[in-house]
């Protein structure tokens, strides 16, 4: 018992580990809850695209010597607006618009970053996260933006529900469907930006989609789905960090692998919807 306790407590002796744990847990919960809409509206590709699209913002902020998170924020909002603008014209489909904007932003980001000398190291931090480098100021930023996003999701719960489930009904009730879609897009963008530090550009899409998809298999109502997803997000984040500490692997990757392992188990064994359950009948 004593050894288990010390096994759990040992990493927390370091301030950077404490901050890392807290940041990872906040991001895990936030991504999971916002991610439920990403799963239900089939926006996984959009989430991935938004994540990659913040690269030029980060690069420009880096070159200008300003705060990287602010740079990412500006870029994510700009890309969300661009995608919404292109697809609303009706000339091309939404996923085509996403593909174009996403690749262009990624190329611009790589081009900008490659002009800096310490290219490889910085790029890998942005791509895969650096949760152990979270400063107290970063932690406050994550907590602040995360709280704002969650409050918005809660306040507009009913509107987001109708727009996601039945946009026709939403329109007959004179809800501003397009504006609510854009608001959801902005919330996803904000979530991605605060997740960069912990899981990075390449893996944030997994944190958006995997806990929500797992919770979908276990629940039958949206509030329950969000709660279960949040729990899975938090558990994956914390156990991922322990894994990363003890077997010395990249933290972002460890978090995503734990989340994927949970998904796989549930996918096979979920009551009612899992493969084993259906196969056994």
**Residue 78 interacting with other proteins (CB under 8 A):** no
Q: Closer CB to other proteins, residue 126 or residue 162?
A: 162
Q: 184 and 80 in contact (C-beta within 8 Å)?
A: no
**Residue 171 interacting with other proteins (CB under 8 A):** yes
Looking up tokens 């729990």, which residue turns up?
A: 231
**Residue 165 interacting with other proteins (CB under 8 A):** yes
**Residue 225 interacting with other proteins (CB under 8 A):** yes
Q: Which helix (H) or strand (E) holds 128?
A: helix 119-128
Write the binding mask 10 to 49 for other proteins: x where contact by CB under 8 A, - elsewhere. Answer: ------------------------------x---------
Helices and strands: H and E segment counts in the chain: 14, 0
Q: 56 and 177 in contact (C-beta within 8 Å)?
A: no
* Shortest separation between residue 38's beta carbon and other proteins, angstroms: 14
Burial class (CB in 10 A: 0-12, 13-18, 19+), 94: middle
Write the binding mask 141 to 160 for other proteins: x where contact by CB under 8 A, - elsewhere. Answer: --------------x--xx-
Q: Closer CB to other proteins, residue 40 or residue 186?
A: 40
C-alpha to C-alpha distance for 144 and 193, rounded to whole angstroms: 13
Given 1, 13, 121, 221, the residue binding other proteins (CB under 8 A): 221
Contacts for 93 with CB less than 8 Å, ≥ 6 apart: 87
**Residue 163 interacting with other proteins (CB under 8 A):** no
Given 168, 247, 248, 279, the residue binding other proteins (CB under 8 A): 168
**Residue 220 interacting with other proteins (CB under 8 A):** yes
Q: Is 134 left (phi over 0), alpha (psi -120 to 50) or beta?
A: beta
* Shortest separation between residue 60's beta carbon and other proteins, angstroms: 37
**Residue 281 interacting with other proteins (CB under 8 A):** no
Q: 232 and 259 in contact (C-beta within 8 Å)?
A: yes
**Residue 275 interacting with other proteins (CB under 8 A):** no
Given 6, 89, 172, 248, the residue binding other proteins (CB under 8 A): 172
């Amino acid at each position: 018992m004593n050894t288990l306790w010390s096994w759990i407590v040992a990493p927390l002796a370091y301030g950077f580990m404490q901050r890392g744990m807290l940041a990872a847990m906040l991001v895990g919960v936030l991504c999971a809850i916002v991610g439920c809409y990403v799963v239900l509206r089939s926006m996984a590709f959009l989430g991935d695209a938004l994540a990659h699209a913040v690269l030029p913002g980060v690069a420009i902020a880096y070159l200008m010597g300003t705060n990287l998170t602010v740079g990412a924020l500006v870029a994510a909002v700009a890309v969300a607006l661009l995608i919404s603008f292109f697809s609303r014209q009706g000339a091309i489909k939404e996923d085509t618009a996403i593909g174009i904007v996403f690749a262009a932003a990624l190329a611009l980001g790589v081009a900008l970053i490659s002009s800096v000398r310490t290219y490889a190291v910085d790029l890998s931090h942005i791509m895969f996260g650096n949760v152990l480098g979270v400063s107290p100021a970063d932690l406050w930023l994550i907590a602040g933006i995360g709280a704002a996003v969650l409050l918005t999701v809660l306040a507009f719960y009913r509107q987001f529900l109708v727009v996601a489930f039945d946009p026709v009904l939403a329109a007959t009730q004179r809800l501003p469907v397009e504006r609510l879609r854009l608001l959801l897009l902005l919330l996803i963008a904000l979530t991605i930006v605060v997740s960069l530090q912990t899981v990075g550009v390449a893996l944030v899409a997994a944190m958006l989609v995997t806990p929500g998809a797992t919770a979908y298999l276990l629940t039958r109502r949206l509030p329950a789905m969000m709660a279960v997803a949040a729990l899975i997000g938090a558990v994956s984040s914390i156990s991922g960090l322990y894994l990363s500490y003890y077997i010395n692997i990249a933290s972002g990757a460890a978090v995503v692998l734990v989340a994927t392992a949970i998904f796989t188990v549930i996918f096979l064994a979920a009551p009612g919807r899992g493969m084993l359950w259906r196969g056994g009948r």
